[in-house]
Amino acid sequence: MVATQDCERMIRSLGWDGLRALWDNIENRSTPGWDPGQAFEYLVIRAFQLDGARVKWPYTVRLFDEVVEQIDGAVHCAGLSCLVESKDFADKAVDINPIAKLRNQLLRRPVGTVGLLFSRTGFTNAAVNLSCFSLPQAILLWNGDEIRYALEQERICELLTLKYCGAVEYGVSNYNVILRGI
């Protein structure tokens, strides 16, 4: 298991070009030096940091000396405070379980906290449809194509704003930021 401080050190050494190269490696399932799924978690947080967001790297929440939550990160930008969950499944789309987990985590946070769920492989139809029913706990879904687009544009905070506006205006959790563009 790679230590947290080593992960932070490795990812902080990467700029946008390095993140795009790491994304290619993640898609090719070749991330030596990283535990499974870990490179993806840190890539997402680093992209927000590079774009000017205040971030918190993956962490655990304890209650009475017991770990009650493992959070993949937190992001504060564009007036939004968000909990981040990242899923890098080999070849299957994300089902409703991570959405339910994130919704429960949001229930313990201030009402304006937004959930961001990143999936390299996308989401099942049931997950997309049921995520709309997580409101008023907003959970915004990001697929692999949108992640690549955010890395290419080097403006993930602006895309977060677009995705949030799409959720507000249309009541959808998977507003496609590529179709809208920046």
The model's pLDDT over 19-34, given as tens digits with 9 standing for 90+, comes to 999 999 999 999 998 9
Mean pLDDT, the chain, whole residue set = 93
Domain of 65, CATH number, reads 3.40.1350.10
Torsion over CA: 86, 90, 93, 96 (sign): negative
* Residue carrying structure tokens 């939004």: 80
pLDDT-derived band at 108, boundaries 50, 70, 90:
very high
pLDDT of residue 132: 83
Please count the structural domains in the chain: 1
pTM across the whole model: 0.94
pLDDT-derived band at 181, boundaries 50, 70, 90:
low
pLDDT-derived band at 137, boundaries 50, 70, 90:
confident
Find the DSSP H helices in the chain.
4-12, 16-27, 38-50, 96-107, 125-131, 144-153, 156-170, 177-180
pLDDT of residue 179: 87
For 74, 77, 89, the CA distances from 45, given in Å and listed in that order, are: 8, 12, 18
CB 89 within 8 A of CB 111: no
Task: Answer whether residue 98 shows pLDDT above 90.
Answer: yes
Give the residue numbers spanning the domain of 168. Answer: 4-180
pLDDT-derived band at 160, boundaries 50, 70, 90:
very high
Task: Answer whether residue 182 shows pLDDT above 70.
Answer: no
- Among candidates 6, 77, 76, which has minimal Cα distance to 39? 6
